[in-house]
Structure 1
Amino acid sequence: MAANDIDSVHDLVVVGAGFSGLYMVHKAREELGLDVLGIEAGAGPGGTWYWNRYPGARCDSESFYYCYTFSKVLLDEWDWSSRYPEQPEILRYLEFAADRLDLRRSFAFDTRVESLTWDEDGSRWIVRTNTGRTFAATWVVAAVGALSAANVPDIPGLDDFQGEWFHTGRWPHEGVDFTGRRVAQIGTGSTGIQAAPVIARQAEHLYVLQRTPNYTVPARDRPMDRDEWVRIKSAYDEVVAATKSSFAGFPYTPSPRSALEVPEVERRAIYESLWEEGGFKFLWGGFHDLLLDERANETAAEFIRSKIRDIVHDPEIAEKLCPKGYPYGAKRPPIDTDYYETFNRDNVTLVDISEGGISRITPTGVETPDGHHEVDTIVFATGFDAMTGPLLRLDITGRDGLRLADEWVDGPTTYLGLQVAGFPNLFTITGPGSPSVLTNMPTSIEQHVEWIARCIDDLRQRGQLVIEPTQEAVDTWTDHVAEASQFGLFNRADSWYLGANIPGKKRVFMPYVGGLANYRAKCEEIAASGYEGFLVSP
């Protein structure tokens, strides 16, 4: 490409301004001294929390570890208001981080990357955007998030619908007033479980269309005061160390107990205690074998089903809400506030679409095998084209015209979830092949950013500016990720971990199941070896 076709040249382009993009820009600019440009489709920072503004949106990890830990300034100056902050507060936090670290000046906002193309002659990436501006950079880091490509299912008749429809991942910034509306919510994953109770409190009537019932545990959100934060921050080094050394980035002390080794009365008492405490600790802090042994898992699954039957007044509805046929935790386990209680409301109807799905959308509602449901608003809580979708939407072309979409037609292949053979100097943060969505995301994000920064710095120190993995390393790691996915129960459900929610998508278990601590150790080993498995050149 001619030099006069390039608007500006940079050392590094970072795509995305969420948790990962903000930290990557800060790390590269302040610690490596790179000329770095961040590119963000939104009007400001926030990433996932900029776009996901649906009713009830909140974090499912506790606030004291769902945050940056690299900066003492950010830790000292920010106190969360509650145990599980809602979307507006998380967005304010990321805006605070961007302002406190003076990051906005390094970003082009309201700018969407339309293509990334490797320029072999210049050993650089050409970055074309929807604004007409084109950039060049030695390195590109895709910090686009694992859950940012919204999935709107192709249901016949949607174009003819006379009311309004929304997707939870692209919610209007001005909000939606459901007062007096008849609403169909399609989907009962994490977003649907968070949204339904809030919509039900406003709407004239809410129809919840459920294909697969989900296990969900109460969040037990509560306010947190300054005294509590003083206590937490006094021990923050221990919290950070615990997240980094854990299987999934949660600072819980693993229990040595097996669910099958304690008497039933004692086991139920433990589950009751964890249910009252709420959150992910129900999965990670009670027994060590819930995701390893089907019999152990069934004790937790049946306990949750018993709670559903206790909470939901109508026995027939309760049974429809009881998950069966897959283990608890094989899908990312939601946490909720009054989800099951919502089905006791007179203005809420559960519509079971497990057998026939949705027949079509009509101008005035939604047609299912059990009849037509008159609505004037549809909410798609149908999730995302996870992990690969955000990367493929960048239209990436590597060496010799190789398109990432073609390379991944049979499923994603990566080395460590960090790079792909044939795509030099392109790094992905929490991409397929890394622990990613099986973990507390900020913990994984910080590890990825720090590894990438170290890699770039090491290369520059040696006068080497091009790095990509060998095909052998990619094949070996991809086989290892596939083999690891057979360990335990993660692979026992049709989940978005497999891409099962996207018609036609190759079913491959995308995240790495080997655990965050093991993954961190492997990444450190490879860096210390001089980047074994990578091709490095001037």
Structure 2
Amino acid sequence: MTRTGPHIDVDAIVIGGGFGGCNSLYKLRRLGLSVKLIEAGSGFGGVWHWNRYPGARVDTEMPSYQFNIPAVYKGWNWSERFPGDEELRRYFQHVDNVLNLSKDTIFNTIVSRVQYNTATARWNVQTESGLSATCKYLIAATGSSHKKHYPAFNGLDTFRGQLVHAADYPDSLDLKGKRVGVVGNGASGLQIVQDVAKEECELKVFIRTPCFAIPMKQRRISPEEAEMMKGYYDGIFERNYKSMSGFPHNTIFKSAHQATPEERKELFDELWERGGYSFLVSNYYDFLLDEGANSIFYDYWVQKVRTRMTNPEKMNLVAPLKQQMLVGTKRPSLEQDYYEMIDRSNVTLHDLKKSPILEFDTTGMVTSNGETTQHHDLDVIIFATGYDAVTGSLLDLSISDKNQVPLSEKWKNGVLTHLGMMVPDTPNLFIVYGPQAPTSLANGPPFIEMEVDWICQAIEKMQKEGIQSIEPTQAAAEAWRDEVHAVSQYTLYPKADSWYMGSNIPGKRREPLVYLGGMQRWWKSCTAGVESWQGFSTSS
């Protein structure tokens, strides 16, 4: 490898400085390994370093969304049930202050190429800045939501106004008196619209698929309450690890069809008032398995939403009486006053299914229903169009395996991993929060801790047994892929076009990118793998 800049040689390299990267650095150092973390941004936080758009906040309630590290949480109190992006950035600074992660981190550095050298049995890492590195263990903790997706609209480069992506929102953007367009209706689109609608601007929201949003029930948490809750942290964290999806919520092992309408309404009302993901996680289990049960959820939801709006046209677009979407098969969003905000007179909703975007020009965009066109004069266009999720950031690393086959080539006919953490012919390469694991359907921090714990257990076992490298067998990876696909077919997820299925990016292969069998079923397979190297080949 040609070196054009500084070089480092360590036991392990971690790529990415979000929850996965920080946890990996912390725990690998505790094994006695020399470790360096490479991060594209100027600080820790991953998606929370980059997300600075209006209203950005996490949709997992505290105290479940944090590191289970006593030294960290003893000196930190959350101020809200669902913290915003600024508080989360302060939290990651606190994590760094306590764990001193910065001393082993290289910021503002983008990894451009990763290759395995069979002669040295080490990974070679190249960066855009010229820094190179070699390591025995490579941890790719690039996350699910980093590679921004900009739709390839005709004429977009001719627009003379301001173009903004939600993931690259400027620190100060004055929208007062402006004509603003928001494209996209997922979590970031909802949060942006919810905040921007309150400003003195003319807001147009371009909606292809209406979001399914449920009440957040945000509230402040006093320092006294936050401190008191730490007495329950062990129980909460343990519940996270042992649950289906990393949430500590109560669960009901009962079908919606087994309950009377009166029983269903009583439960629905209780969970609706509780707020957060309780309405889904603590409800009847079969709404994601059975269309009949799903429609029961939808019928309740649509009535609750419509009572909060006055404009019938807007109502019929975002909450039509006849069900047009399956509840929960796309990422559900939490809202505070979204439906009241889009009902305001300064907000216009545009149905992209009836009249899609035809092109952009110097002063805005043109939509057409096939017969007539409409020009939308805009000063600012905000794209809340999401990410090339789960796989995009991994593929951007330009990883080549021990046979010099690029990962993009290996996955051209579909993603292939074992347990969502390792790939055949890539020795000692570990993926955190990647495809074919519970990943995006799980509460991130506790799930990531389980993955990092597994990686550390594997490395410790390798050291004790004198093993130089491990990699999954082709047969094990194919069997796991079959498991991922088979489990998916028992659910309603494949019926929706979502980023869970890779359907949000034109040309991207449509396949289940997330394991839908739950964390416990996945963890059982992980445990078998590390106990006896079941599904792995080892090299001494």
Normalised by the shorter chain, which TM-score bucket?
A: over 0.9
Instruction: Report the counterpart of residue 493 of structure 1 in structure 2.
Output: 496
Residue 517 of structure 1, aligned match among 511, 516, 520: 520
2:468 corresponds in structure 1 to 465
Residues 243-262 of structure 1 mapped to structure 2, 5 A cutoff: 243-262=240-259
Q: Which range moves more in the overlay, 31-40 or 488-497?
A: 488-497
For the pair 1:442 / 2:445, whether they are aligned, the reply is: yes
Partner of 2:537: 535
Aligned 8 A contact 1:13 1:141 in 2: yes
User: How far is the alpha carbon of 1:325 from its aligned partner?
Assistant: 3.1
Alignment of 1:251-330 (within 5 A): 251-322=248-319, 324-330=323-329
Partner in structure 1 of residue 220 of structure 2: 223
Aligned match of 1:373: 376
* Contact in 2 for aligned 1:183/1:203 (Cα 8 Å): no
State the Cα distance separating 1:266 from its structure 2 match.
3.1
Contact 1:183 1:205 in 2 (8 A): yes
Pair 1:66-2:68 in alignment: no
From 162, 165, 174, give the equivalent of 1:164.
162
2:128 and 2:200 mapped to 1: Cα distance?
Answer: 38
Give the 3 Å change call, closer, same or farther, for CA 345–537 of structure 1 in structure 2.
same
Distance 2:7 2:355 in 1: 53
* Distance (Å, rounded) in 2 between the aligned partners of 1:242 and 1:8: 40
| Equivalent residue number for residue 331 of structure 1 | 330
Q: How many aligned residue pairs are there?
A: 534
Q: 1:362 to 1:203 in 2, by over 3 A?
A: farther
| 1:111 lines up with 2:114 in the alignment | no
Alignment match, 2:53:
54
Q: Distance in 1 between matches of 2:385 and 2:468?
A: 41
Paired residues for 1:121-140 under 5 Å: 121-140=119-138
Q: How does 1:19-58 map to 2 (within 5 A)?
A: 19-29=19-29, 31-58=30-57
Q: Supply the distance in 2 between the matched residues of 1:144 and 1:271 (Cα, whole angstroms).
A: 37
Instruction: Give me the whole-angstrom Cα distance separating, in 2, the residues matched to 1:114 and 1:256.
Output: 47
> Residues 70-102 of structure 1, C-alpha deviation per residue, up to 9 Å, x if partnerless?
x11112211100100001101111111112100
Q: Is this contact kept in 1: 2:37–2:106, CA < 8 A?
A: yes
- In structure 2, the partner of 1:232 is 229
Q: Which residue pairs with 1:202 in the alignment?
A: 199
Match runs of 1:468-487 below 5 Å:
468-487=471-490
Whole-Å separation in 1 of the counterparts to 2:282 and 2:513: 25
Q: Which amino acid aligns with 1:483?
A: A
Q: How much has 1:490 moved relative to structure 2?
A: 2.3
Q: Confirm or deny: 8 A CA contact 1:37 1:107 kept in the other structure.
A: yes
SS for the counterpart of 1:290 is: helix
Look up the match of 1:80: 78
- Distance in 1, matches of 2:126 and 2:21, equals 18
Shift of 1:260: 2.0
TM-superposition CA deviations, 1:313-333 (whole Å, max 9, x none) = 111210110263332111121
* Aligned partner of residue 138 in structure 1, secondary structure: strand
Kept in 2, the 8 Å contact 1:6–1:136? The answer is no
| Pairwise CA distance, 1:517 | 1.5
User: What stretches of structure 1 of length at least 5 have no aligned partner?
Assistant: none
Find the residue that maps to 1:448 and give its secondary structure: helix
Q: Hey, what's the Cα distance between the residues in 1 that align with 2:381 and 2:361?
A: 11
SS in 1 for 2:125: strand
Mapped contact 2:39–2:108 kept (Cα < 8 A): yes
Q: TM-score if structure 1 supplies the norm length?
A: 0.97
Q: SS at 1:202's partner residue?
A: coil
- 2:385 aligned partner, one-letter code: T
Q: Is the partner of 1:446 in helix, strand or coil?
A: helix
Report if the CA contact (8 A) 2:197-2:342 is conserved. no
Structure 2 residue aligned with 1:15:
15
1:356 to partner: Cα distance? 3.9
3-state SS in 1 of match to 2:268: helix
State the distance in 1 between where 2:288 and 2:244 align. Answer: 12
Match of 1:419 in 2: 422
SS in structure 2 at match of 1:57: coil
Task: Work out which of the residue numbers 385, 400, 422 in structure 2 matches 1:397.
Answer: 400
SS in 1 for 2:307: helix
**CA displacement at 1:393 relative to structure 2:** 0.7
Note the C-alpha offset of 1:256: 3.0
Deviation, structure 1 residue 273: 2.1
Q: How far apart are the structure 1 equivalents of 2:82 and 2:316?
A: 29
Question: Could you say what the CA RMSD is over the residues aligned between the two structures, in angstroms?
Answer: 1.5
Helix, strand or coil at the partner of 2:206:
strand
Q: Structure 1: which amino acid aligns with 2:535? A: G
Distance 1:410 1:233, change over 3 A: same
Structure 2 CA distance, aligned partners of 1:351 and 1:509? 30
Distance 2:269 2:326 in 1: 19
Distance 2:525 2:511 in 1: 22
Q: Structure 1: which amino acid aligns with 2:344?
A: R
Secondary structure of the 1:345 match is coil
> Aligned partners of 1:196 and 1:136: how far apart in 2?
45
What is the alpha-carbon distance in structure 1 between the residues aligned to residue 495 and residue 338 of structure 2? 25
Alignment partners' CA distance in 2, 1:271 and 1:205:
36
Q: Does residue 431 of the first structure (1) align with residue 434 of the second (2)?
A: yes
1:151 positional shift: 0.4
Map 1:83-98 to 2 at 5 A: 83-98=81-96
Decide which moves more: 4-13 or 37-46.
Answer: 4-13
- Change in 2 beyond 3 A, CA 1:163/1:123: same
Find the residue that maps to 2:67 and give its secondary structure: coil
407-416 or 3-12, which deviates more: 3-12
Contact 1:308 1:321 in 2 (8 A): no
| Match for residue 152 of structure 2 among 150, 154, 168 | 154
The verdict on how the C-alpha distance between 1:506 and 1:3 changes in structure 2, with shifts beyond 3 A counting, is closer
How big is the shift at 1:519? 1.3
Displacement of 1:525 after TM fit?
A: 1.9
- Over the matched positions of the two proteins, sequence identity in percent amounts to 37
User: Aligned partner of 2:440: which letter?
Assistant: V
Cα distance, 1:342 vs. partner?
1.1
Q: What is the CA deviation profile of residues 333-381 of structure 1, one whole-angstrom value per residue up to 9, with x for unaligned ones?
A: 1111211111221110001001342111111011112511101101000
How many angstroms does 1:232 deviate by? 1.9
Gaps of 5+ in 2: none
